[in-house]
A and B are shown apart, each in its own frame.
Chain A
Amino acid sequence: MSDPVLSVRNLNIDYIGAETNFHAVKNVSFDIAPGEFFGLAGESGCGKSTIAFAVSRLHRPPALIRTGSEILVSGRDVLGLNDADLRKFRWREVAMVFQSAMNSLNPVLTIEAQFYDVLRAHGPISRAEARARATELLKLVDIAPERLDNYPHQCSGGMRQRIVIAICLALNPKLLIMDEPTTALDVVVQREILQRIDVLRKRLGFSVLFITHDLGLMVQVSDRIGIMLEGELVEVNDAQTIYRHPQHPYTQRLWASMPKLHGEQTRREPVL
């Protein structure tokens, strides 16, 4: 295997409290290969979003990464970056799509202005060049270039989400982190967006760290999956093995609790 795009080693993160600390991420290690679609699954509070934030250095106090933790992106130590390097690192190396990303567009700027904003911050570019690049990027996510002159409220939720993804791809990042990117959207739109991402990563070669609690969806799109339980990464394997031959009892219980779309219908009991 070629060198990983992302390498997380012995990651420990605490949330510092007045009396006690909460150990949110416990000794987590995993790698993501170039072009790989890696899924991180788990329930609310299991630490999956905390990891995503740490990878892009977006974690804020009271979250504290313990010494001895290591996050490498293309071999570079992310935790040691200074502010100037960090600014270059974000978007260019790692871009992140948040859960309600469609609400993260600025409501008073046109779509075109928001592309210009990102492109200009990362190197000299003329307005016309930026517009050309934005047109190209919108094409990637299947949105007509006329939309550049629209304001966010004129676009549907799914469209806004795709625009955010296009902005994330503006600087050809090596890793795209998506934290529950489609939870707020209906299944047809969700399917369209993820299918699009899948095609793009195969064409452009970026890796994806995909976070969701929807295990069925995760098996459909991911190459490999990590299952988190209470801050620990309890099982990592390729998607089909996680689905067909889960090893950890928690993974087995998660599958057992999921209603199926086809086949026999039996009463299912909750996991906990």
Chain B
Amino acid sequence: MSDAILTLDNVTKVFGRADKPVYAARAVSFALHPGRTLALVGESGSGKTTAARLIMREYTPDEGQLLFRGVPLGKGDARALRNYRSSVQMVFQDPFASLNPTHTIRYHLERPLKLHQKGLTSAQRQAAIVELLERVKLDPKLIMPKFPHELSGGQRQRISIARALAVNPQVIVADEPTSMLDVSVRQGILNLLNDMKAELKLALLYITHDIATARYVADDIMVMYAGQIVEWGAVNKVLDDPQHPYTRLLLSAVPDPDRRFDDVRFADELGRVEEIRTLSARPQPETAQAGENHFYRPFPAV
């Protein structure tokens, strides 16, 4: 595997009072590699978005550190932060809220270019906007003068991706980028992310609760619960041979047309929901290996 571009090394983030801490991230470690997609799956409140915010440096870790190209990230001044953000970009969940309704699409794409590529002339910026829109398969002439409300959800999400690509990033963090879109347009966005990753050698962190789409776009996968990564590895290995009870619970709950509800196999797992949740929420510091590129945290003893 190629060298990691971004690494989280034992990162912990705690919220709440000292006597009643809430671990949003507990000793989280993972690495993003150019040209690879890592999926982060888990239920709401499991700490997925906290991981994204740590990467975007909206949160500072309480313990552990982030490394960019092997160099630990310190506090840094505004300029260092801006440089970092031109390498690490984010695509948000809600394409209706993440674009400014009072500005045209041209403005949305021109701003990051002005901020991060100061040398460009107006004509060069114009050419760059056209290229970006073509890259996300939108008609530049048609789209540039429009306002966000004139576009569909799928088109808006393409704009969000184009905006992220405007600064030539090396890492893209996509937090539930398709969960608010219809199935029919969802696929287009996933294919676009896949193509971008391959063509531009991007390192992609794909955050989702939809495991089927994670399998579709990702090379590797991590399952998160209560701030801990409980299982991780190659996507097919983890999904075909899940080791951690929480991974199995999550998989048994995923809607699957091949399995009717009356099937007893998952009723077993689902009957233990509370038990699995309680046990999974405890600290699980041990690591076990299930196979090549497949790891999990052995369940804590009762």
Contact = CB atoms under 8 A, between A and B. Distances in A.
Given A254-B184, A270-B188, A259 B273 contact: no
B216 A186 contact: no
B8 interface: no
Given A187-B250, A258-B183, A271-B184, A220 B260 contact: yes
Interface residues of B, number: 36
Q: What secondary structure prevails in chain B residues at the interface with A?
A: helix
B184 A261 contact: no
A44 interface: yes
A259 B255 contact: no
Interface in A188-242: 188-192, 194-195, 198, 213-217, 219-221
Nearest to A242: B257
B212 A261 contact: yes
A259 B270 contact: no
Interface string A117-134: 000000000000000000
B185 interface: yes
Contact of B255 (A186, A198, A217, A271): A217
Given A187-B43, A191-B270, A259-B213, A243 B184 contact: no
Nearest to A202: B262
A259 B216 contact: yes
B36 interface: no
A214 B255 CA distance: 8
Interface string B39-54: 0000110000000000
A261 B187 contact: no
A220 B43 contact: no
A257 interface: yes
Contacts of B239: 261-262
Most central of A43, A187, A268, A269 by chain B CB within 10 Å: A187
Nearest to B179: A183
B75 interface: no
B215 A261 contact: yes
B213 A188 contact: no
B117 interface: no
Contact of A187 (B190, B209, B213, B259): B209
Given A192-B273, A265-B216, A257 B43 contact: no
A187 B254 contact: yes
Contacts of A262: 239-240, 256, 258
State the 4 A-B residue pairs at the shortest beta-carbon distance, nearest first: A271-B184, A186-B43, A217-B255, A219-B257
5 contacts: A187-B250, A190-B255, A192-B273, A216-B256, A270-B188
Interface of A: 43-44, 185-192, 194-195, 198, 213-217, 219-221, 243, 253-254, 257-262, 265, 267-272
